[in-house]
Amino acid sequence: MTKSSATLLHDGDRLIAVEDTDECATLYRGGLRGVPGSGISRGASGGVFPFGDISADGAPVQPLVQGPGTYKLCWCDGRASADCSDIQQFKIEAGRFAILGPLQTHEFNATVGTRPLCVTGVEGFGLQQGDLLAVVSSCGVAQGVRGIGSSRSVWQGISTPSVDGNAFCWDPLSVVAAVPGVYSLCWCSSRMACVDKGTPQFKALAGKIRVYGPYPDHDFGAVVRGARLSLTGITGVGLGREDRLAIMSECGDESTISGIPAGPASEHSLPGASSVSLDEGRSFYWGTEPVTATPGVYSVCWCGKGGSNSHTFSSCSSPSHFAAHAGSIEVVGPDPSQNRGLLLVRGTKGVIPRLWGRGFNVGDVFAVRRSGESCTNLTATRGPWETNIGSGGLSEAIDSDAMDSTRAFVGVVFRGRVLSQPGAYQLCWCSPVSGANCGAGRLEDFRALAGTLRVVGPEPGQVFACARGEAPCTINGFKSTQSTYRDRLLIVRLDETCGTDRIDVSQSIGESTHNGETFTWATEAAGGFMITAGSYRLCWCSGVLQAASAQTCRSSRDFTVDAGMLHVFDPYVCSPSTGSSCHLLLPSLMAYPTSNSGATSLTLIAATGLCSEADPPPLRVNLSETPDVGHGPLLNGSLTIKQ
C-alpha cells in the first residue's frame, strides 16, 4: 500500500487488511490470508505500507492471491507503547482498497483439434477491455502452454485482448494442439505490460481449463500394404464412444489419402476414416478392405464426435474435423508408382534388379499374374499365378543380400527362365511380417500390388520360309514386343532345343533390321542350314540384353527363346520343253503344320493365279514323304510335262 497521505501518519505505523464486513474496533480474527504477511503490513516508511517481504528491486516476494473484491483497512499507531502485535490494536478504520482480477473458481473445457479457443463468462472485480488470459502450467511461470494460440507468438498460450473483460479468445487461425491435461488459466490486467513482459506477468489465477483429446505421441508402428488396418491402445483425456480416427498427410487437411479404406458404414462415411470407437475411444477399425496407400509415414488424426463427453460436438463428417494429432503410422511395402513397366525377357533368367518401396523384410515373396483383376480383388482360393515364371509364379524369398540397407528397394529373382507369353502382368506382394506363409502362394496373402511387369520377346509359333540356296534369306514381319535392331535369330536343327551349346554359330545368326521385324542370313549356306531342304527351329536373343553386354547374342546359349520355324524348300522349276520332269521338295511341316493329313498330292497353279480359279485347269503333283533326318520329314513330288 503506497503513499497514504492522511495526517498523523508516521513511519512505523501498520495496517491490517480484513473483510469489508469486519469492524476495526472489534476485530477478533487475523488479516486476509491471501494478502502477503497474513494481511498485516510491515512498518510504514515514507507513507508506504509494504505487505510481506520486499526484494532488492522493491518488488514483493510473496504474490497477492486474495480473491478480487473490496476490503477494509484498519490502522495501528506505531508510536504507541504497543508494537501492533495484537490485532485489537488496529482499532481505527483507515479506508478501503480493491483487489482487481478474476474469480479463481472458473472451470473451462477445450478439445484438441478445434478452433478457435474461446472462454466466456469470466467473472471478477475490475475486469475490463484489453485484459488477457494465458494457459500455463502454473501462474507466473516463464512460458505458456505450447499448442494454445499462435505458434508464431514469442509468448505461447496468451489470448488476444478481451473486448469486455469477460470473454477471451485465442488466435482464431490456430487449432488447439496442446497435450491433453489440466492447465491453469491466469490473468493479466490491461493496466500492466502483459505482452511486453509475457507470461511471468500472468500471476492471478482465474481457474482451470481441461484440454480433452488423445495424447499426440502414439507410435502406431507399421501397417503392411495389403493388410487390414486396426489400431488399439489409444490413450488421452476424455476419450469416448463414437470418437473416430483418420489417416492423413496432415491433420485437418481437406485432402484424403488414397488407399486407406473407410471404416464400416456409419452415420458419416469418410475415405481414410475409421468406424466409430465402441470401447470409449481406445480401439478403432477400418473394415475388411486392405491398405493400398503409397508407402510412407502418415499422421493419425482424431475427431471427438461427442459420445459420452459433452465437451465435443463435431460430426466427424469432414477431413477438417480431424485436426487433432494422435500419432504417426508407417505404411510399408512396394510402391507401384515407382515400379511401372518392369521388364522380363522371354527365355532369360527372371531377375528384377531393383523394385522400390519402403520397409521390405527378409522373407518377402512376389507373385506374377496376368493383368486384369487387381491384386486386392482376386477371388480364387489360390492365386491365379503365371506358372511359366519362377516357381509356380512365385519369386524366391527375399534374403538379406538382395535388400538395400535402408530397405528402400530389393532385388527380385524368379527361379529358372521366363517362359511366359509376351504381354502385361501384375506383380503382387506378400510379407511374412503380417503373419502370412508367403511360400504357400495363398491369394489372401498377396493383396498388395507391387508394380506392373512386361514380358517382352517374340510371339511363339511363327513360321517363315526360304528357298534352298537363296542368298540372302530374308524373313519379314517377325512379331516381337520390345524388339530392337540388336535382336538376333539363330537357326538350329529341329530336334534341338534353344539354348543348346554349339561350337560355332556365327554363320547361323540372322542380323536384324527394321527394329527387329526383319532378319537376314547373308551367306548362302547360313551355317549349312540353307543347303538342305527341311524345317528348322528359330531361336531368339534379346537386343535389350545385347545392349547391356557386348558378349550376348554371340553364343548359342544366349538364344534361349523358341520363336518358331524356318522352312527351307527346293524351288519348283520346270523347263518348258516337252517331256521334261519337274521336281518339288518341301518340308512336311510346311504343308501340314500339325500332322500329316493323309493328303498325297498338291495342286499347282500359275504364280499370277488364285487357288479358287478353275481355268486354266490346275496341275496336280503326287507326293511321297521321306523320313525325318534331324530337320523334319520332307515331301517329294514330281510332274512330267506332256505335249
Summarised one tens digit per residue, pLDDT across range 326-372 is 999 999 999 999 999 899 988 888 999 999 999 999 999 999 998 77
pLDDT band at 642 (very low <50, low <70, confident <90, very high): low
pLDDT band at 599 (very low <50, low <70, confident <90, very high): low
- 235-249, 593-607, 615-629: which has the minimum mean pLDDT? 593-607
DSSP label at residue 279? S
Name the CATH architecture for the domain at 462-569. Sandwich (2.60)
Q: CA angle, 574 as apex, 571 and 580 as ends, to 5°?
A: 135
User: Cell 489419402 belongs to which residue?
Assistant: 257
Give one word for 212, left, alpha or beta, with left for phi > 0 and alpha for psi -120 to 50: beta
- 16-25, 148-157, 307-316, 617-626: which has the minimum mean pLDDT? 307-316
Would you state the pLDDT for residue 515?
Answer: 86
pLDDT at 307 over 50: no
Nearest Cα neighbor of 326 from 217, 240, 246, 176 is 217
Identify the three-state secondary structure at position 366: strand
Please report the sign of the dihedral spanned by the C-alpha atoms of residue 149, residue 153, residue 157, residue 162: negative
Q: What is the mean pLDDT of residues 163-191?
A: 94
Would you state the pLDDT for residue 500?
Answer: 86
Query: What's the mean pLDDT when you consider all of the chain?
Result: 85
Summarised one tens digit per residue, pLDDT across range 139-170 is 988 788 999 988 888 888 999 999 999 999 99
pLDDT at 643 over 50: no
Q: What is the mean pLDDT of residues 536-551?
A: 76
Would you state the pLDDT for residue 522?
Answer: 77
Provide the terminal-to-terminal Cα distance of the chain, rounded to the nearest Å: 150
Query: What is the spatial distance between Cα 631 and Cα 607, in angstroms, rounded to a whole number?
Result: 28
Element (H, E) at 12: none
Sketch the domain layout of the chain as residue ranges.
14-99, 106-212, 215-333, 337-455, 462-569, 581-640
pLDDT band at 75 (very low <50, low <70, confident <90, very high): very high
Q: What is the mean pLDDT of residues 167-196?
A: 93
pLDDT band at 378 (very low <50, low <70, confident <90, very high): low
Q: What is the mean pLDDT of residues 49-60?
A: 85
What amino acid occupies position 432?
P
Q: What is the mean pLDDT of residues 545-565?
A: 79
Would you state the pLDDT for residue 310?
Answer: 42
Say if CB 511 and CB 522 are below 8 A apart: yes
Summarised one tens digit per residue, pLDDT across range 417-449 is 898 888 899 999 999 988 889 988 888 889 899
Q: What CA–CA distances, in Å, run from 561 to 348, 405, 457, 497?
A: 8, 36, 8, 9
Would you state the pLDDT for residue 157?
Answer: 93
Question: Rg (Cα) of the chain, in Å, rounded?
Answer: 47
pLDDT band at 54 (very low <50, low <70, confident <90, very high): confident
DSSP string, 108-160: EEEETT-S--EE----EES--TT-EEEEESSTT-SS--TTSS-TTSSSTTBPP
Cβ-count burial of 548 within 10 angstroms (0-12 exposed, 13-18 middle, 19+ buried)? exposed
Q: What CA–CA distances, in Å, run from 595 to 440, 584, 587, 592, 599?
A: 41, 20, 12, 6, 11
Q: What is the mean pLDDT of residues 364-392?
A: 81
Summarised one tens digit per residue, pLDDT across range 210-224 is 999 999 999 999 999
Provide the CB-side half-sphere exposure for 597 (13 A, CA): 11
Q: What is the mean pLDDT of residues 78-84?
A: 80
User: Between 583 and 453, whose confidence is greater?
Assistant: 453
pLDDT at 35 over 80: yes
Say if CB 417 and CB 348 are below 8 A apart: yes
Nearest Cα neighbor of 281 from 215, 209, 210, 223 is 215
Summarised one tens digit per residue, pLDDT across range 100-143 is 999 999 999 999 999 889 999 999 999 999 999 999 999 988 78
pLDDT band at 269 (very low <50, low <70, confident <90, very high): confident
Q: What is the mean pLDDT of residues 161-188?
A: 95
Q: What are phi and psi of 578, to 5 degrees?
A: -70, 135
Q: Considering all CA atoms of the chain, what is the largest pairwise distance in Å, rounded to the nearest integer?
A: 171
What amino acid occupies position 575?
S
pTM, two decimal places: 0.75
What amino acid occupies position 412?
V
Q: What is the mean pLDDT of residues 232-256?
A: 92
DSSP label at residue 548? H
Summarised one tens digit per residue, pLDDT across range 608-633 is 656 565 555 555 666 667 666 666 77
pLDDT at 14 over 90: yes
Would you state the pLDDT for residue 621?
Answer: 63
Domain 337-455, CATH: 2.60.40
Topology match between the domains 337-455 and 462-569: yes
- The distance of Cα 47 from the centroid of its chain, to the nearest Å, equals 72
User: Between 634 and 69, whose confidence is greater?
Assistant: 69
Identify the three-state secondary structure at position 258: coil
Would you state the pLDDT for residue 601?
Answer: 61
pLDDT band at 186 (very low <50, low <70, confident <90, very high): very high
Q: What length is written for the chain? A: 643
